[in-house]
Homo-oligomer: A and B are copies of this chain.
Amino acid sequence: MSERVYNFSAGPSMLPVDVMTDAAAQILDYEGSGMSVMEMSHRSKPFEKIITEAEANLRTLMGIPDDYDVLFVQGGATLLFAMVPLNLMQNGKADYVVSGQWADKAQKEAAKFGDARVVASSKDSNYTFIPKPAADEYRKDADYVHITWNNTIYGTKWPVIPDTNGVTLVTDMSSSILSEKVDVSKFGLIYAGAQKNVGPAGVSIVIVRKDLVGHVRANTPTYLDFKIHADNGSLYNTPPAWCIYIAGEVFKSLLAKGGISAMEAINKRKAAKLYDYIDASRLYSAPAAKEDRSLMNVVFVTGNEELDKKFVAEAKAEGLVQLGGHRSIGGMRASIYNAMPEEGVDKLIAFMKDFESRNA
């Protein structure tokens, strides 16, 4: 058996080792139930406890106010790109800030269902910064403003919550949820696929203010109605039970480690180390605007495509894997989510230094 590697994948990516070790130990017999969580009726008492605790712990971690529903749904952010407009676009109008490919996909999907206006885009600059419209650029009568909090491909994130002129703010937080403190009450809806900071791919989290639930447009597929999930505690139909279980174990593990404040401090330290080294280096540079730098995805290049490839291949041989940039832009990307140990970042920097010295 080989050793565990440092996995810098943008997602799915590393999960806490303690969580997986515990899950393995109980895989045939969860807490004396005589069965695996994978075999458990979603209407059984042990699973009811799992999903109830998962929600409660997520509420504690994020400080989610009581007037918000927390839903666990399937289909990833891709399905949520449609669910958001189908549930929220009551007047048929929404403003989208396009800060990357995923934001672009969200906007194009919403345009199927109404007037989904691009209020600003940084596409012409290869999405190297977050476009930040002034408050009065948003339409007062829009149903919502949609932003992508962290842009996984480009390594950018919103540095502050934008002023949207009173319009409901919706955000895709797939690649940064649980990595830093966020004032949930400033958002109407936050959604996130699990496979970066939460758990295994196959479940998404929706945090939605209750007054926004219950307005789905007519003849929408039942599964796409937030109210169905809210009214049934995410148990309208069989949920992705194993994914919710592991997510719940991740929440417990984060609470035991000091919650989001503790993670944010570590994440800032990890990211600062890496950016500081890149900024000081003569070989590497980070294309993202400094003020919009992501804590989770550190994108960098040597400026030479062949050298970038060599870097990725040599790093892999050292147990630093999945460092290639997104297939659409190339270069390198180190995704350093909550579960990436600080030692992984230290080892990466040491490798980068060594590589630089050999390729100056």
Whether B34 contacts A27 by the Cβ 8 Å rule is no
B35 in contact with A14 (CB, 8 Å): yes
Please tell me if the beta carbons of B20 and A28 are within 8 angstroms of each other in the complex: yes
CA distance A208 to B4 in the complex (A): 39
Query: Would you call B12 and A322 a contact (CB within 8 A)?
Result: no
Complex interface bits, A316-360 against B, C-beta within 8 A gives 1, otherwise 0:
000101100001000000000000000000000000000000000
User: CB of A125 within 8 A of chain B?
Assistant: no
Contact A237 B7 (CB under 8 A): no
Q: How far is the CA of A232 from the CA of B112 in the complex (A)?
A: 21
A202 at the interface (CB under 8 A from B): yes
What is the bound-complex CA distance between A318 and B117, given in angstroms? 62
* Secondary structure call for the A interface: loop
Q: Which residues of B contact A327 (CB under 8 A)?
A: 43
Q: Is A131 an interface residue (CB 8 A)?
A: no
Number of identical protomers? 2
**Interface status of A258 (Cβ within 8 A of chain B):** no
**Among B34, B42, B79, B322, which residue has its beta carbon within 8 angstroms of that of A4?**
B34
Contact check, A109 vs B222: say whether CB atoms are below 8 A apart.
Answer: yes
Interface residue? A57 (CB, 8 A): no
**Which residues 145-203 of A have a CB within 8 angstroms of B?**
193, 195, 199-203
Task: Flag if B41 contacts A322 (CB, 8 Å).
Answer: yes
CB–CB A28/B35 < 8 A? no
| Mask: chain A, 225-250; 1 = CB below 8 Å from B; 0 = not | 00000000000111111110010000
